[in-house]
Amino acid sequence: MVTERLTRSIAVQKNSGLYRNPITVQKQIGSRVLVDGKKLINFASNDYLGLSQDSDWQKTVSKCFASHSPSGTSSRLVTGHSQYTEDVEQQFAEYFGYDEALFLPSGYQANLAVIWGLCSPAETLFYDKRIHASMAQGLVQTGSTLKGFAHSDLAQLDRKLTAADAENPVVLTESLFSMDGDVLNTEMFKALRKKHNFFGIVDEAHSFGALGANGTGISHGCTDIAVGTFGKALGMFGAFVLMPRGFKEFFHNFSSPVIYSTAMPEAHAAAAAALLKKLPTMESEREHLAHISALLRADLQEAGFTIQGDAHIVSIEIGNETKAAELAEKMRKDGVLAFASRYPTVPTNKAVIRVSMTALHSTADVHTFVNSIRGWYDRT
């Protein structure tokens, strides 16, 4: 019976330290969240600029939904795509330095739309082995020849591209990796793209808004397509794909996640247009985010932890899955909410505490976090 199998599967998850039971957030209060009646410093949020907690921004989004339709009403290819949304998508493309843009409901769907829409048995896909699950899980269905390369090892990518001598090479990677926190070497990536003439697809979900001039990310000029989300530093929901001219037409005709999904509403496009006016004014938040993230990395290293991360995502090596989960749970006693990342999100026995810094965090918050993890690590 299905129910018996599910019961056994849950038991195995619990016994292996891989059981997941999402917490329920009762309320968000700046850099804090209320969980089970206790206020915790939130180090597990992707709200990098604190924009979702900005009362003025909330009012702006509210006005957009009050004055525009809150539903797309149908798919883009029927009557769901309005001239207004088309105009805002073009504004987005121009702001980030691309020719065209396409809005979608989620980052997961956006990555699938790109990979399934563009890649076929005619292509050879070279991919960083630590790309996001939404990219990785879309690879097999393409029928493309698949060639993974070691995480962030662009020298290995170079060798594999040379050895394969593929007719239609496509390279998939991230600009700021969501679990490891390291940043793509964009200069080397750009040089390899010129050398091998590959088609680049870069997931910039964790860098748009937070990194680059006016929050425009770091991969412009070294990739063909960039994927971003509104649900992280941009303080909204949904996702977008940035692309060369003519590619939107292709997605309309050959990408099933685009063809068979209800279009994003005009209200969302109105909020996206307002966002483009907001982002250039948030340089102080980006500077503070960089400063507070560097402070955390330095303090953790001084405390003896092995970490990864070049920006506002910091990955603290723990190893054992059960220990990582228990450590995260014990840190809540100190008022700290951190996320234990375990298999299959990371390789087996490579569990980490993944920290997401935001512009809402303070120096005191950093000290509280470091003191907490240092105090519980040897007792877990």
Last residue in a domain, options 246, 280, 314 = 280
Q: Is the peptide bond before 105 cis (omega within 30 degrees of 0)?
A: no
d(CA 364, CA 290): 16
Residues 253 and 130 in one domain: yes
Three-point CA angle 77, 105, 146, nearest 5°:
90
Residues 143 and 118 in one domain: yes
Residues 108 and 213 in one domain: yes
Residues 275 and 290 in one domain: no
Does pLDDT of 190 surpass 90? yes
In-domain check, residue 3: no
Residues 226 and 146 in one domain: yes
Last residue in a domain, options 265, 280, 295 = 280
pLDDT of residue 226: 98
Residues 273 and 331 in one domain: no
In-domain check, residue 1: no
Residues 318 and 358 in one domain: yes
Per the structure, how many domains does the chain have? 2
Residues 176 and 238 in one domain: yes
Q: Exposed/middle/buried for 169, CB within 10 Å: 0-12, 13-18, 19+?
A: buried
d(CA 129, CA 176): 14
Q: Exposed/middle/buried for 189, CB within 10 Å: 0-12, 13-18, 19+?
A: buried
Q: For the whole model, what pTM was predicted?
A: 0.94
Does pLDDT of 17 surpass 80? no
CATH number at 211 reads: 3.40.640.10
pLDDT of residue 52: 95
In-domain check, residue 11: no
In-domain check, residue 6: no
In-domain check, residue 250: yes
Q: Is the peptide bond before 344 cis (omega within 30 degrees of 0)?
A: yes
Q: pLDDT-derived band of residue 6, with 50, 70 and 90 as boundaries?
A: confident
Q: pLDDT-derived band of residue 298, with 50, 70 and 90 as boundaries?
A: very high
Residues 222 and 318 in one domain: no
Query: Could you read off the pLDDT of 137-146 as tens digits, one per residue?
Result: 889 899 999 9
* Stretch 320-333: mean pLDDT: 94
Residues 320 and 224 in one domain: no
Domain that holds residue 24: 16-49+283-377
Residues 320 and 253 in one domain: no
* Stretch 24-29: mean pLDDT: 90
Q: pLDDT-derived band of residue 18, with 50, 70 and 90 as boundaries?
A: confident
Residues 265 and 287 in one domain: no
Query: Could you read off the pLDDT of 39-53 as tens digits, one per residue?
Result: 999 999 999 999 999
In-domain check, residue 8: no
Does pLDDT of 348 surpass 90? no
The mean pLDDT value of the chain amounts to: 95
Looking at residue 127, the DSSP 8-state letter turns out to be: E
* Stretch 185-198: mean pLDDT: 98
3-state DSSP helix/strand/coil % of the chain, to nearest 5 = 45, 20, 35
